[in-house]
Amino acid sequence: MSAEYDLIVIGGGSGGYAAAKKASGLGLNVAVIDGAKELGGLCILRGCMPTKALLETSNRMRAIRESEEFGIQIGTPTLDIDALRDRKTRLIDDFQMWRVKGLNKGDFELIRGKACFTSPHEIEVERHGTLSAKKFVVATGSTEVLPNIPGLADSPFWTSDEIVDLPSVPESVVVVGTGAVGMESAFLFEGLGSKVTIISRSRPLLSDMEPSISEGMEKRCADLGIEIIFEKPLKEVSHDNNGFTLTVGEDEKVSCHQLVMAVGRKPNIAGLDLPKAGFEADMRRLEIDQFCQTSQPHIFGVGDCSSPLAVVHLAVMQGEAAGENIATLLQDKPMTETWDPNLNMVGIFTDPEVVQLGLTDEEALAAGYDPVSASYRFDDQGKGEIVGEKHGLVRLSADRSSGKILGASGMGPHVIDYAHTIMVALHQKLTVSEFLKIPSYHPTLGEIWTYVAEELIDEL
């Protein structure tokens, strides 16, 4: 190990790996500290990839059950849960292998152990002692939030960590939480054959999405028999050999065979002893600017521990910007690489999928724009009708004076995939008129963006 590094990156997930790879590629002496039980990061091991592998099977089982719509007569599908687990494990082992190879073979030093700051420029790493660096990147990710509900801690509830191992397919499941993890969990178990109930503290169902998207998802849940309990928080949990009994609201009782808690995640910074690096003791997130720099100029933050939106593409964008900026600072030059929070994109892999990107109308107003929006439904679009989408739609907004595209949202089959069309428009700062000059193949689902753009031109 080096006596002093140019850069120490704490955390070897997507954001940390991107920062280390960029900085070491620019000639810096870099160390990556990772204290997780397994290398690979949340997305590969317990998040994005394993859940999507399970959802693929769930979606196909649902499609088989709905096949009569397309003139196909077939019996009820049967799940081979061992085969499903084996497929998921093979996929994740392969994804993990490539990340571990990158960490072990990169132009930086990999040090295994948990780290905490002992001074602004020093950290203590278990089994390795004290290490120092000129600059730091904190990329420690996030951890699950669990509310203090009577009886919860004494019950065998599941979180996303247990779900990716799929211990069983319970006869009935109650999901608490309506974010990405909650909604994907609900659709996972409904597709695999469970009776699902969602507990939502508030209404609309998808509080961070545009109202029309949330309304469409409520209707889809009703079609599938997913029950939603609105505006009644979980108050108490009890468990016995027959399963769970939940108290929601004042005194309503709900029974289920399995409880899933999916109420959110928080930045994983508690064990870093950040006050010894100069930060306030009560900070909840490592706040960063457009350069990924924190209030301590030699410390940068990337990914879920500092990003306002916990998604991989922003973590990678931030990691690359941080690595580039640190190399620039060490050459006594001004920083130039930034990450753009307006290039956000949130996708929820329900069936159909939900997506939102860019600015919402509320955010656009706060930023000084005068947003105008239009929407278009899949059941009035050629390919949408062919695939049988009943409730889906897309929505597009632009600035009234300039015509610049500001944001979009949608609910529809594979809508996350072709929402990248709008991401390109946001990145290139296209107006609606400029966007409409780009041809779309017919008939495709992605073609719907031109339909809604034409509607928006009329509104403008």
pLDDT of residue 135: 98
In 332-447, at which residue ranges do the beta strands (DSSP E only) sit? Answer: 345-348, 353-358, 371-377, 393-399, 405-412
pLDDT of residue 309: 78
pLDDT of residue 65: 94
Residue type, 236: E
Q: Kindly indicate the confidence band of residue 83, based on its pLDDT and cuts at 50, 70 and 90.
A: very high
Question: Tokens standing for 323?
Answer: 């690595």
Question: Across residues 423-433, what is the average pLDDT?
Answer: 97
Q: Has residue 10 got a pLDDT over 90?
A: yes
Please, which residues have CB within 8 angstroms of residue 390's CB and are 6 or more apart in sequence? 219, 220, 223, 379
Whether the upstream peptide bond of residue 352 has omega within 30° of 0, thus cis, is yes
> 112-118 long-range CB contacts below 8 Å, 24 or more apart?
112/34, 112/35, 113/33, 113/35, 114/35, 114/271, 115/10, 115/33, 115/35, 115/272, 116/271, 116/272, 116/273, 116/276, 117/272, 117/273, 117/274, 117/276, 117/277, 118/273, 118/276
Q: Has residue 330 got a pLDDT over 90?
A: yes
Homologous superfamily of the 4-144+267-341 domain (CATH): FAD/NAD(P)-binding domain (3.50.50.60)
pLDDT of residue 3: 67
Chain centroid to CA 337: 24
The reply to whether domains 4-144+267-341 and 160-263 share a CATH topology is yes
Q: Kindly indicate the confidence band of residue 39, based on its pLDDT and cuts at 50, 70 and 90.
A: confident
What are phi and psi for residue 300, nearest 5 degrees? Answer: -115, 155
Please, which residues have CB within 8 angstroms of residue 112's CB and are 6 or more apart in sequence? 34, 35, 127
Question: Across residues 49-76, what is the average pLDDT?
Answer: 94
pLDDT of residue 308: 82
Question: What CA–CA distance (Å, rounded) separates 20 from 28?
Answer: 9
How would you classify residue 129: left for phi > 0, otherwise alpha for psi between -120 and 50, otherwise beta?
Answer: left
For residue 357, list its beta bridge partners. Answer: 345, 408
The pTM is what? 0.93
What are phi and psi for residue 75, nearest 5 degrees? Answer: -75, 175
Chain centroid to CA 442: 31
pLDDT of residue 270: 92
Q: Has residue 4 got a pLDDT over 70?
A: yes
Question: Across residues 299-326, what is the average pLDDT?
Answer: 93
Question: Across residues 26-50, what is the average pLDDT?
Answer: 88
> Domain-by-domain residue ranges, the chain?
4-144+267-341, 160-263, 352-459
Please, which residues have CB within 8 angstroms of residue 380's CB and are 6 or more apart in sequence? none
Please, which residues have CB within 8 angstroms of residue 9's CB and are 6 or more apart in sequence? 16, 19, 20, 23, 30, 31, 32, 33, 108, 136, 137, 139
Q: What is the DSSP letter of 45?
A: H
Q: What is the pLDDT of residues 200-259, one digit of tens each?
A: 988 999 988 889 999 999 999 999 999 999 999 999 999 999 999 999 998 899 999 999
CATH of 352-459, one of 3.30.390.30, 3.40.50.2300, 2.60.40.10, 3.40.1210.10: 3.30.390.30
pLDDT of residue 46: 79
pLDDT of residue 2: 62
In 128-251, at which residue ranges do the beta strands (DSSP E only) sit? Answer: 129-138, 142-144, 172-176, 195-200, 227-230, 234-240, 243-248
pLDDT of residue 1: 60
DSSP character string of 94-149: HHHHHHHHHHHHSSSEEEES-EEEEETTEEEETTTEEEEEEEEEE---EEE-----
Q: Kindly indicate the confidence band of residue 172, based on its pLDDT and cuts at 50, 70 and 90.
A: very high
Q: What percent of the chain clears pLDDT 90, i.e. is strictly above it?
A: 85
SS3 category, 172: strand
Q: Has residue 370 got a pLDDT over 90?
A: yes
pLDDT of residue 349: 97
- CA angle, 232 then 233 then 238, to 5°: 115
Q: Has residue 313 got a pLDDT over 70?
A: yes
Instruction: Let me know if 361 is exposed, middle or buried by CB neighbors in 10 A (0-12, 13-18, 19+).
Output: middle
Q: Which CATH number does 160-263 carry?
A: 3.50.50.60
Q: What percent of the chain clears pLDDT 70, i.e. is strictly above it?
A: 99
Residue 270 and residue 257 in contact, taking contact as beta carbons nearer than 8 Å:
no
Chain centroid to CA 321: 20
Q: Has residue 8 got a pLDDT over 80?
A: yes
Q: Has residue 277 got a pLDDT over 90?
A: yes
Q: Has residue 42 got a pLDDT over 80?
A: no
User: What letters, b where the CB count within 10 A reaches 16 and e where it falls short, cover 140-166?
Assistant: bbbbbeeeebebbeebebbbbeebbeb
Question: What CA–CA distance (Å, rounded) separates 130 from 146?
Answer: 33
Q: What is the DSSP letter of 431?
A: B
SS3 category, 207: coil
Q: Kindly indicate the confidence band of residue 342, based on its pLDDT and cuts at 50, 70 and 90.
A: confident
Q: Which residue has the tokens 């700051």?
A: 117
Question: What CA–CA distance (Å, rounded) separates 133 from 3?
Answer: 9
Q: What is the pLDDT of residues 112-136, one digit of tens each?
A: 999 999 999 999 998 899 999 999 9
pLDDT of residue 98: 87
